[in-house]
Amino acid sequence: MEKFDHIVLGSGIAGLTYALKAATHGTVAVVTKRAKATTNTAWAQGGVACVSSPEDSFDLHTKDTLEAGAGLCHEDIVNLVVREGPDRIKELVALGMSFDLREKPEGGTELDLGREGGHSKRRILHAHDFTGLEIEKTLVAAVEHHPSINVLEDHMAIDLITTGKLGYATEDRVVGVYVLDEKSGEVLTLRSDRIVLATGGCGKVYLYTTNPDIASGDGVAMAWRAGAAVSNMEFIQFHPTCLFHPEAKSFLISEAVRGEGARLVDGQGTAFMPGYHALKDLAPRDIVARAIDAEMKRTGAKCVFLDITHQPREFLRERFPKIYETCAALGIDITTQPIPVVPAAHYQCGGVKTNDRGETTLRGLFAIGEVACTGLHGANRLASNSLLEALVFAHRAFLKATKNHRPTDPIQLPEWRPGRVVDVDELVVIYHNWDEIRRLMWDYVGIVRTDKRLQRAATRLRNLQKEVQEFYWNFKVTTDLLELRNLVTVAALIVDCALSRKESRGLHYTLDYRETGQLFVQDTVMRRV
């Protein structure tokens, strides 16, 4: 058993920010199932939404967030994230992060602020179109040689250890975690009274997603199995513009492209967003995604197009180098050709339920970043609010976790007991179940839903959960098996939450209940019985 003052599961912006702060108060283990820079954060293109201009204000940012969230945002949480954001950005810059600047007409430079859907002002801090990657590099560099931080790469958390599971007749609290060393196959027992979930989202639960392969909902599934409350999992955000090309896998065309004047057009070059919303191409993501879905179904087309050919080549090369180069490598010149795009699963707005300090309903367990449901996003996330939320809640969780902390009684945790298991002899079963989950979620629990489709999904997922659980108990744990176990758990949570919301609101749109009702102006909270 290895003991740490803090254990952080995940190495994205939320996890590493917390780790750096907590390392000033004790030892920290950062557990990450791939290389430490392989995170959802590194894939973020657009930037960080933060009030940074005299033309903007906290009130405007709050108003935009509340409008996007379709009545479910917690206004107190929105206010604290928006108002605390600038100080957290200053800390990031102090670590070495550089955001793009532009020359002012009167001389000197200022922040080059972008604009995205749902924002009334330019407030997106960015580093070209690979902001997340630059943030990740900055944080990794700060963590790499820190004497109090031990980064366990290629290690995957299996399950949280709680006093309830150990049979203690006290308040249930988290005391450790079992972790698989993917290279050796050994299962480690890590001990801590403060465990932070920063594992990101669950985009891989869908067939088409902008997320990397790591996004399998691990944190939500572990928290659920440990007894923590989970909230609002029906609200899965589909990004409207994922590159549609047979050789491109999960490549996002940033919303910032529309912020610079790109228009969504059909195969004949006709702009269609004016018929759906007053903000046209800069409408909130849920509206744009549904509009694209409706146009594709109406015309039978496999995709729509994003046209930014009116902008000069040099501007596009400078502002969107990654998008420009990726498209060019696939034979698409974005200066003369519209970009083929389709919606794809992008961000979970729900997650492990927390308070304003990142605390979950399980004592000692914190959740920060995309894995958490803090109340900021409501029924639909405002573009580029996620990185800001991660910074703010990493700080707030650190303050809570270290304030007047008293070590609990020493507990010797039992070693992992695998039982009479054997090596997985039929990997094809794991891969088949993985594909089946992702396809049924895409077909039945997508942008537009019905009760009938949701019931079909629920029935099949119940059977799949039994199959996966049988696999889990009979075979040695592997990363593939653990991810499948988490994936089917999260898929079932999404479906159960969706079935309980008998209305259309934000990202949850159902043909059976097209109206938004006052009865459902509340979070959907699930807790394992």
DSSP string for 20-61: HHHTTSS-EEEE-SS-TT-SSGGG--S-EE---STT--HHHH
Residue 242: band (very low, low, confident or very high) from pLDDT cuts 50, 70, 90: very high
With a CB cutoff of 8 Å and minimum separation 6, the contacts of 68 are 118, 284, 285, 378, 380, 381, 382
Please write the tens of the pLDDT for every residue from 105-154: 999 999 999 999 999 999 999 999 999 999 999 999 999 989 999 999 99
pLDDT at 202: 98
Cα-based distances in Å from 286 to 276, 283, 460: 11, 8, 27
Domains of the chain listed by start with CATH number? 241-344 (3.90.700.10), 427-526 (1.20.58.100)
List of residues 6+ apart from 267 with CB closer than 8 A: 299, 301, 304, 305
**424 pLDDT above the threshold of 80:** no
Q: Are 451 and 154 in contact (CB under 8 A)?
A: no
Q: With bands split at pLDDT 50, 70 and 90, how would you rate the model's confidence at 418?
A: confident
Q: pLDDT tens digits, residue range 289-317?
A: 999 999 999 999 999 999 999 999 999 99
Q: Write down the catalytic residue from 285, 453, 501, 505.
A: 285
Stated pTM of the model = 0.95
Q: Are 401 and 394 in contact (CB under 8 A)?
A: no
What is the pLDDT averaged over residues 83-103? Answer: 97
Say whether pLDDT at 408 is over 80.
no
pLDDT in tens, 430-487: 889 999 999 999 999 999 999 999 999 999 999 999 999 998 988 899 999 999 999 9
Residue 285 bears catalytic tag? yes
- State the chain's mean pLDDT as an integer: 95
Q: For residue 477, count other CB atoms closer than 10 A to its CB.
A: 22
> Which residue type, as a one-letter code, is found at position 398?
F
Q: What is the pLDDT of residue 373?
A: 98
Q: Return the pLDDT at 250.
A: 85
Cα–Cα distance, 128 to 45 (Å, whole number): 8
Residue pLDDT, tens place only, 164-203:
999 987 889 999 999 999 999 999 999 999 999 999 999 9
Element (H, E) at 177: strand 174-181
* Cβ–Cβ under 8 Å, residues 524 and 350: yes
The shares of helix, strand and coil residues in the chain, as percent rounded to the nearest 5, are 40, 20, 45
Between residues 330 and 424, the one the model is more confident about? 330
Among 461, 460, 463, 457, smallest CA distance to 442 is for 457
Across the range 508-522, mean pLDDT stands at 95
Going by C-alpha positions, the residue among 194, 231, 227 that lies closest to residue 361 is 227
Query: Over the stretch 12-60, which tens digit does the pLDDT of each residue have?
Result: 999 999 999 999 999 999 999 999 999 999 999 999 999 999 999 999 9
pLDDT of residue 306: 98
Residues counted in the chain: 529
